[in-house]
Structure 1
Amino acid sequence: MSRLSRWLTIRVLLLLSSLLAGFAVQASSSGWQQAKHIKAELVSEYRTVAAGQQFAVLLHFEPDPGWHTYWQNPGDSGLATSISWQLPAGVQTGNISWPTPQSFLIPPLVNYGYAGQTLLLTELTVPADYAADSLTINADVDWLVCEEICIPADASFELTLNVAGQSEPAASQQPLFAKARQALPLATGAVGDYAISGGAFSAELHEQLPEPPVAFFVASTELVDHAAAQQLVPQQNGWLLQQAINTYFSSAPQQVEVVLVDAAGQGYSVNLQYRQQPAEQGGSTEILLTGGILNNSNNNSNLWLILLMAAGGGLILNLMPCVFPVLSLKALSIAGNSQQRQQQRHDALFYTAGVVLSFLALAGLLIALRAAGNAIGWGFHLQSTLLVGLLAYLLLALGLSLSGLVQFGLGLMNAGGDLTVKSGGKGSFFTGVLAVIVASPCTAPFMGTALGYAVTQSPQVALLVFAALGLGMALPFLLLAYIPALARLLPKPGAWMETLKQLLAWPLYLSAVWLVWVFGRQTGIDAMALLLVGMVALSAALWLWGRVQLGAGWFNRLAALGLVLLAVITLWQVSSQQAALSSNPQPGQSTAQHWQSWSAEKLSELRRQGKPVLVNMTADWCITCLVNEQVALNTERSKAALTEYDVSYLKGDWTRRDSAITAYLQQYQRDGVPLYVLYWPGQPPQVLPQILTPDTLRQTFESLSQQ
């Protein structure tokens, strides 16, 4: 062989050796896969393994700056990374060993996860009788990466390792695995137990840690309220940990992992055993618990904020068109007593009692029905056609009284309208009751947030929120009665009061028209016509009763009672046929409408097709819903945006009770409408604000289409 031939042979062998060595090194990693705002790889601690060996692989994440993934308990939102393994027969895999997490504060939420480089270790065990000369590891991984928005993603990884009589570490990967193990919380061997007491998670750690902890993370997802303040109280031989329980807490696991973190960021893993009865804690439990309600600054501040929002919602209700006409009755009464300070205060207190007790009664009914398993929501009483019709009758009767057709005060009418228009405590009290019945569907933004919070809390907290709502609604009358400067602004009684009384009848008539329209939407135009017949009969009865008050004979009295009976029977018959009537299609509905009726199946089908979908949950008795549709959803600008971005628009009608819509609302922690949810391909569902502007849809579509 010539010198040149030998030289070429050596060069080729060296090149082949280099390629084989490079392949062997690469065998310890699957290679990077890039997704939006993050890249990932699957890495092995060994490039050659042996039968019977236990070794580690890790999922290596590198998110973009400002983005993060999640711990096994993601906190208030988010999703933990999951790995589905496909391994040769006999190869066993353990659970993910989670590094010590950190908190991400997104007020009012708290999430747990990892920013920057993230290393998730998993131990694999090769059986002793494994005979193949290679080991192929396949992993399907799902994760969620978040900044201000969250992007779910998945990837499949494949890694093939050599199998030989002796294992060989992947030298280049050892620093990465060392870093991964350093990030794990230390297993201290400490023992402890926990209990659920007084609305709080309360745990005792029976040993000291190397350094005092400053925070802790509970691995169980629905055990503690993640946003609530934590208490870490040193004990003689350990630590007392306390935090409010989670809103969705249902049962305590027998064992739960808790990771405690010291000031340097070092984590310590402790497994706590559940105990049925809390151990004696001296007086330390009172640090957090007072009368069964968690007493920490963060929880108190949240509750006070919710109570303030509830009171603000009640105050706003006074301005709603379905409430003001009823309240005007009481304003008229106060104006009539402007010279009688004691009587004003007396009336204001009784009115407040009527409002607050009515809200508490409705809250109690809601809580009781929920406890019995009924899926209902706030405003549910106007889903009853019978009650809607009766309210229409009542408002018509009150309007006719203000117009001077009849003066309530005798006989049958004492049971209804006279309770609201008569002076004194009884009239004030029942005016408050009537105001609440008519007011509750007009859910303002502050009220919706407070109610959504209330129905997920304990009955005591829920009742407190509803009481605050009632106090806010009654506040104007309390101010008029107890602040002389405001009371003096009211004009003196005079002839103008009769004119004002008659003028105030017209808002009541308009409110009755609104209720008739709701009734028609619930049952159909034929049923609405019958309701109008009943209202005409009621009007005739009141006219006859007015003649009786002026001295007319017994025939007028008998005819009036007969007409009232006719009105009641008509309403009863229409309501009893609701199911049959509601099954008929609504006549006059446009065939060119830009929306489709919502159903869970329709939504699922559109999402499977990869189409963007806007869901609007509405009801005809929801004033906010109707305003939003006129201002932001049914405009030509919004219709053009829906067409331009090919967004399917689904509308769910909750005017009549619908268990499927109620279940959908509860998915988003809502107990009332409106609810607007936008499903954009590749993005998690986005809940839009309760108050929409003319540009909300277009701006939202533009933002999501650019991501």
Structure 2
Amino acid sequence: MKTRRYRLSVTVLWQMLALLLLPLVAHAQSGATPHIAAELVAAPATPGGEATVAIHMTPEKGWHGYWSNPGDAGLGMQLDWTLPTGAKAGTPKYPVPQTLVVSGLMNHVFEHDYAVLVPIALPADAKPGSRLPIRVAAQWLACTEQICVPEQADLAVEIPVVAKAAAPDARFAEWTRRLPAPLDASGTFSLDAKALRLAIPLPATTPLASPHLFIGEDKLVDYAANQSFAWNGDKLIVTIPRAKLDARDASTLTGVLRLDNEGNGIAFSAKPGTVPAGVTPLATDVAPTSALASLPLLLLAALAGGLLLNVMPCVFPILSLKALSLARAGESEAHARIEGLAYTAGVVVACLGLGGALLALRAGGEEVGWAFQLQEPLVVVALLLLAAAITANLLGLFELTVPGFVSGGSPSSFTRGAFITGLLAAFVATPCTGPFMASAMGAALLLPVLPAMALFATLGIGIALPFLAIAFIPPLRRRMPRPGAWMVTFRRWLAVPMGLTALALAWLTWKVGGPWFAGSAILGLALVLAALFVMGRTQRKGGSARPAAAIALAIAVFALVVLPQPVAPVAAADSLLGAKPFSEKALADALAAGKPVFVWMTADWCLSCKVNEEVAIERAETKAAFDKAGVVVLRGDWTRRDTDITRYLTAQGAAGVPLYVWYGRNGKSTQLPQVLTPSLLVSTASQ
């Protein structure tokens, strides 16, 4: 069955959003002070000469504007000139931009005051001593790392016409100095499916303290990817991976080479041609993110998050799978250690597998996040079949020593069972990101592959740590109850939480796939249980259970193959808070209106989300506080994959749900804890 795939470029979505909002700027910002102040300044010019006008931009602290090619997100400045007859505006010239990486998205920005210089060709009949009025309707995007606001201004100035050219004043001299120096020779470039290679004629003695290449053409390269620099004589060879989505071709190439972090750079152009191999690599090739610097702290956070995950609500059903294995671990020291290592290996392998799949999907352009496995209806059905089979096993309907939570069997079967139990525990438990794990998993999406995989492995070690400690620390193991007849009764009681888990998965199957999908899955489940019943009866008579087991497995696979196409997710129930569906436009509209906003990201498969909703969100006290403060509540349902929600989570540095973000009336955002207390939202709304 084909599952729906999302291959929309983040760049396109950002730009479409900005373009949709630009016509609303005048209304949204009427009476409001812009976050980036704009001023139009003109230098004198002679008749028939070229005047330089500057659009001087001054961002507020924490805000930034964009270069002509904004990168992965943002929007360049839009200019609509009104000029005297015979005058003509040229191409705007920008200073050397800065790089800003937000949740893996590379932006080309200006976080300080900057001036965009535009040449204006004056008519030859302009009279010295006169002043030529010009106007420009400018539109731009002002952003912080959390929110973007489209802004505009109608700017006007008069160009003094003089008989003799004069030296520019101090301000124009400084603005001109900030422009990248034009390179007097053209470079060459080559494009293939994997990379752009560029040769820039540049003396090998040129100091390159912090080089970065800004390409003027959009959607040509992967902006956030590592850029490789090497010398070949007096040519700088630059290699940049191609754009992951919608990669385009180019007949010419323009851009800016940043030399250092002091604003120095070179403007270049290039044409298709031969690009020699790099000979001497630069030692400054680094990833465009500082996350590597804090890798030890991130590893510690992943370990703590995995450890804490053992007491999160989402892992409670899985604890029943461990209980009998923990008790049985006291049989012998060697057995306990082997089983502890096998269980840990299963958890770590599952975390590495999920993490590797996540990174591979994102590298292929998919908008996915942590817990993507539970957003797929077929995966939910497979877990439903497994949970129901485990419940039947615990009740004694049939006997099977895998996944290792029942008594009996050989040591090798216990080892296999512990490994499979670890796989299942991590697969089901990891969607609920703990308070410490959220930052680490968000950072894993920004890091190179090896450090990111180290984070996923450390998460697995954290999840398995309690079981590993019991296996290797004799005093802890001696506190475990000794194996005995009580285990048979306890095994029957463990069927209760597993049965409740199966019921919850049946409900989730309906939520993610619709009634026909869920009904077909339950019919397949009934056939599987019937085959398992026959298997158990055969076992009790002393016969071979393999034929019935093969039939049960075949029915399960067949059921997954022939399930009908899932329909759209079932709409969420009405919220006590009057929550509206989350969208980027709804958030922008609420902030433009100056209202406080509570963004609430949840999913039906996230048990910790549901606990927070019951304990702190859907409460009369919270509603009263929100109503009094005029809070706009936006709820994002991430039960099925949603591009807008995934992009918002990524922008917030979160890999999954729950996520709660509070926006004040001034638009400043604050991420709230993932574990909410009953009074937290009330006190936040009252501030």
Per the TM superposition, whether the score is higher than 0.5 is yes
Following superposition, the deviation at residue 620 of structure 1 comes to 0.7
2:33 corresponds to which letter in structure 1? Answer: A
8 Å contact from structure 1 (residues 442, 624) kept in 2: yes
Matched, 1:138 2:129: no
Q: In the alignment, what sits opposite 1:333?
A: 325
* Counterpart residue number, 2:172: 177
What letter corresponds to residue 619 of structure 2 in structure 1?
T
SS in structure 2 of the partner of residue 438 of structure 1 = helix
| Equivalent in 155, 158, 165 of residue 157 of structure 1 | 155
Q: For residue 259 of structure 1, what is the aligned residue in structure 2?
A: 258
Which whole-Å CA distance do the structure 1 matches of 2:514 and 2:297 have between them?
43
Structure-1-length-normalised TM-score: 0.69
Aligned to 2:24: none
State the match for 2:624 in structure 1: 640
8 A Cα contact 1:531 1:570, kept in partner: no
CA pair 613-60 structure 1, distance change in 2 beyond 3 A: same
1:110 Cα deviation (Å)?
A: 9.7
Q: Which residue of 2 aligns with 1:25?
A: none
| Alignment partners' CA distance in 1, 2:135 and 2:408 | 74
Q: Is the CA contact (8 Å cut-off) linking 1:421 and 1:431 kept in structure 2? A: no
* Structure 1 unmatched ranges of 5 or more: 1-32
Deviation for aligned residue 1:258: 1.8
2:608 maps to: 624
> Is the partner of 1:338 in helix, strand or coil?
coil
Which residue of the other structure, out of 279, 282, 295, is the alignment partner of 1:281? 279
Match of 2:467 in 1: 477
- 1:408 maps onto 2:403 in alignment: no
Distance 1:701 1:56 in 2: 50
1:313 Cα deviation (Å)? 3.6
1:426 equivalent to 2:410? Answer no
* Deviation at residue 137 of structure 1 after TM alignment: 1.2
8 Å CA contact 1:351–1:430 kept in 2: the answer is yes
Contact 1:60 1:118 in 2 (8 A): yes
Describe the SS at the equivalent of 1:344: helix
Cα distance in structure 2, aligned partners of 1:570 and 1:425: 29
Contact 2:329 2:471 in 1 (8 A): no
Cα contact 2:398–2:537 (8 A) shared by 1:
no
Distance 1:341 1:553 in 2: 35
Shift, 1:434, TM fit: 2.0
**TM-score normalised according to structure 2 size:** 0.71
Match for residue 510 of structure 1?
A: 500
- Counterpart of 1:323 in 2: which secondary structure? helix
Structure 1 residues 677, 273: CA separation in 2 closer, same or farther (over 3 Å shift)?
farther
Gaps of 5+ in 2: 1-30
Answer whether contact 1:100 1:183 (CA < 8 A) is retained.
Answer: yes
CA distance in 2, matches of 1:226, 1:591: 39
Match of 2:345, as an amino acid? A
Secondary structure, aligned partner of 2:621: helix
The answer to whether the 8 A contact 2:229-2:239 is kept is no
**One-letter code of the match for 1:44?**
A
Cα distance in 2, alignment partners of residues 215 and 519 from structure 1: 52
1:655 maps onto 2:630 in alignment:
no
Contact 1:108-1:227 within 8 A present in 2 as well: no
Cα 1:459–1:499 shift into 2, 3 Å: same
Partner of 2:564: 576
* Mapping 1:448-527, distance limit 5 Å: 448-454=438-444, 463-498=453-488, 500-522=490-512
- Call closer, same or farther: CA 1:643–1:437 in 2, change over 3 Å: same
The percentage of counterpart residues that share the same residue type is: 34
- Structure-2 residue corresponding to 1:45: 43
CA distance in 2, matches of 1:76, 1:370: 14
Aligned to 2:337, the other structure's residue is in SS state helix
Write the distance in 2 (CA, Å) between the matches of 1:102 and 1:569.
53
- 2:423 is equivalent to residue 439 of structure 1: no
Q: Distance in 1 between matches of 2:509 and 2:436?
A: 27
Contact 1:618–1:652 (CA<8 Å) still a contact in 2?
Answer: yes
1:600-634 Cα offsets, whole Å, 9 max, x none, are 78778878988776554422101232233224432
Shift in CA distance, 487/417, structure 1 to aligned 2, threshold 3 Å? closer
| Structure 1 residues 504 and 224: CA distance shift in structure 2, 3 A | same
In 1, the alpha carbon distance for the partners of 2:585 and 2:32 equals 33
Match of 2:419, SS state, is helix
Q: In the alignment, what sits opposite 1:10?
A: none
**Take 1:420 and 1:205, find their aligned partners in 2: how far apart are those partners?**
74
SS, match of residue 219 in structure 1: strand
* 8 A Cα contact 1:189 1:270, kept in partner: no
Q: Tell me the CA shift for residue 521 of structure 1.
A: 3.6
Q: Which has the larger radius of gyration?
A: 1
Contact 1:56 1:121 in 2 (8 A): yes
Secondary structure in structure 2 of the residue aligned to 1:441: coil
Mapped to 2, the partners of 1:447 and 1:476 lie a distance apart of: 17
Q: Secondary structure at the match of 1:318?
A: helix
Q: How far apart are 1:200 and its partner, in Å? A: 12
**1:58 aligns to 2:54 (yes or no):** yes
Report matched runs for 1:238-387 at 5 Å. Answer: 254-261=253-260, 265=262, 267-269=264-266, 271=268, 279-282=277-280, 284=281, 287=283, 298=290, 300-363=292-355, 365-366=357-358, 376-385=368-377, 387=379
Q: Is the 8 A contact 1:306 1:450 kept in 2?
A: yes
**1:194/1:278 contact within 8 Å kept:** no
Instruction: Give per-residue Cα distances to partners, 1:125-149, cap 9 Å, x unaligned.
Output: 1143669976331122345667898
Could you say what secondary structure the match of 2:311 adopts? coil
CA apart distance, 1:351: 2.3
Distance (whole Å) between structure 2 residues aligned to residue 671 and residue 267 of structure 1: 36
Q: Secondary structure at the match of 2:169?
A: helix
One-letter code aligned to 2:470:
L
The CA RMSD measured in Å over matched residues stands at 5.8
Aligned length: 645
Which residue in the other structure is 2:387 paired with?
395
| Superposed CA offset, 1:350-376 (max 9, x none) | 323333333444445556666776655
| SS, match of residue 424 in structure 1 | helix
- Matches of 1:376 and 1:116 in 2, distance apart? 34
Moved more, 50-59 or 216-225: 216-225
1:673 to 657, 668, 673: 657
Structure 1 residues 298 and 384 mapped into 2: Cα distance closer, same or farther (>3 Å)?
Answer: closer
Cα gap change, 1:464 to 1:681, in 2 (>3 Å) = same
Q: Distance in 2 between matches of 1:539 and 1:312?
A: 39
Question: Is contact 1:596–1:649 with CA below 8 Å preserved after alignment?
Answer: yes
In 2 relative to 1, CA 697–161 (structure 1 residues): closer, same or farther, beyond 3 Å? farther
Q: CA deviation at 1:156?
A: 1.1
**Contact 1:540/1:563, CA 8 A, preserved across alignment:** no
State the alpha-carbon separation in 2 of the partners of residues 464 and 322 from structure 1. Answer: 24
Indicate how the Cα distance of structure 1 residues 478 and 175 shifts in structure 2: closer, same or farther if over 3 A, else same.
same
Task: Report the Cα distance in structure 2 between the residues aligned to 1:45 and 1:592, rounded to whole angstroms.
Answer: 60
Match of 1:408, as an amino acid?
A: E
Instruction: Return the alpha-carbon distance in structure 2 between the equivalents of residues 273 and 420 of structure 1.
Output: 73
* Structure 1 residue 379 displacement after superposition: 3.1
Q: Which range moved further: 511-520 or 377-386?
A: 377-386
Contact residue 419 and residue 431 of structure 1 kept, 8 A: no
Q: Is 1:595 equivalent to 2:579 in the alignment?
A: yes
Distance 1:681 1:114 in 2: 25
627-636 or 122-131, larger mean C-alpha shift: 122-131
Aligned position for 2:15: none
The amino acid that maps onto 1:628 is: N
In structure 2, distance between residues paired with 1:102 and 1:553: 73
Alpha-carbon distance in structure 1 between the residues aligned to 2:648 and 2:53: 41
> Is the Cα–Cα contact under 8 Å of residues 81 and 136 in structure 2 kept in the other structure?
yes
Distance in structure 2 (CA, Å) of the matches to 1:350 and 1:594: 48
Matches of residues 96-107 of structure 1 in structure 2 within 5 Å?
96-99=92-95
Q: How many Å apart are 1:526 and its aligned residue? A: 9.5
Whole-angstrom CA distance in 2 between matches of 1:608 and 1:65: 19
Of residues 193, 198, 214, the one that matches 1:219 is 214
